[in-house]
Amino acid sequence: MATKSSKTSVTSLYQRVVKAKRPPTFEQYQNRGSTLFRVYLGTDVQGKPVRKGLGAKEDEAKARYAEICNRVESGDSIEAFEAAETYADFEFKAARKKLRPYSATVLQAAEFFIKYHRPAKGLITVEEALERWKEDAEQKNLSDTFIEKMLDTYAGPFARHFEGRRLMDITYEDAKNYVFKKKERLSSYSKVQLIQKLRAFFNRVAKIGYYSKDLNPFKDVEPPKRKLGIDKDIDRVISVNVMRETLEFALASEKKGFREVGVAIVLISYCGIRQQELWRMSWEQVDDSDDEKWSVRVPPLESKLGYQRDIDIPNNAIAWLEAFLDSG
């Protein structure tokens, strides 16, 4: 039994200091551009040097080093080794404390870091992600209208707002605050569109290897619900007088292009035609064969998958269109 006990004691001393250096050496070293501190305690039973890291904070490292020195001077080399190990224990406890609000273990945090924190093509900022998205959209031959809309209205302003931030660091709270605080003046409909477009933006960047779809901060952002009589869009109505004065000015002007601008205002304001649709139209698509009922055929946008609309032009718009046609 004594022999067995002796062997067990020897085994337990592996990786422990059996020949202490008096005093231990306090060392500073560089690792991947960071300055760190460690202590050289001595050698183990195999004659190999034993060094233990003391962290990156010099004051804390020196305090731990002083404790180790005191234990070495008292002749307790094993206690000195355990004093160095205490630093790692403190670090572990600090990690657990940080994870407590998230109901996650240190192992789960380590697995999460390994899985998500190193995208296949590297970590990038939000602005860099926007550039990668644009390059990908152009390669896929998405319409110029769609790309410009994303750059000017959705992903572009978002990237400028979070200038310098890594894509990986954008959180659910960041996403929610951007929609409901930064863009609080948007209508409920526009907020829904914003959430959908930015969710798609993050998913696409993940698809091309710079992110993980599971981390999409807009994935769980709930769109606003419109309640009758409670939620009300911002009043953007243009008065009749302002509209009449604008169209009369365009009608009376002899400057090149004012006639076309006037017609564009009529079609957008009275007929519900979108600006992107307007630039694809020609006069032939305005059907005035019926004096009492005009209509306009709106050509399909590429992003609308071939959907075409036929719109009846109201009487007040017909009157303005006739006036602009006669002026030409």
Q: What is the pLDDT of residues 248-295, one digit of tens each?
A: 888 888 777 787 888 888 888 888 777 777 777 777 777 777 766 787
Q: Is 254 part of a structural domain of the chain?
A: yes
Which DSSP string corresponds to 113-164?
HHHHSS-TT---BHHHHHHHHHHHHHHTT--HHHHHHIIIIIHHHHHHHTTT
Q: Which of 64, 99, 134 is the last residue of a domain?
A: 99
Q: Are residues 203 and 264 in the same domain?
A: no
Contact (CB, 8 A) for 221 and 178: no
Q: What is the pLDDT of residues 199-229, one digit of tens each?
A: 999 999 988 888 888 889 999 999 887 654 4
Q: Is 258 part of a structural domain of the chain?
A: yes
Q: Is 234 part of a structural domain of the chain?
A: no
pLDDT at position 322: 81
pLDDT at position 86: 55
Q: Are residues 72 and 153 in the same domain?
A: no
Q: What total number of domains does the chain contain? A: 3
Q: Is 121 part of a structural domain of the chain?
A: no
Most confident range, picked from 1-10, 129-138, 253-262, 294-303: 129-138
Task: Tell me which residue of 40, 56, 54 sits closest to 87, measured CA to CA.
Answer: 54
**What stretch of H or E contains 294?**
strand 294-298
Q: Is 5 part of a structural domain of the chain?
A: no
Q: Are residues 87 and 154 in the same domain?
A: no
Mean predicted lDDT score pLDDT of the chain = 77
Most confident range, picked from 10-14, 44-48, 103-107, 175-179: 175-179
Q: Are residues 259 and 317 in the same domain?
A: yes
pLDDT at position 206: 87
Q: Which residues contact 246 (CB under 8 A, 6 or more apart)?
A: 265
**Domain containing 30: what range?**
15-99
Q: Are residues 91 and 143 in the same domain?
A: no
CB under 8 A, 24+ apart: contacts of 240-244: 243/269
Most confident range, picked from 66-70, 96-100, 154-158: 154-158
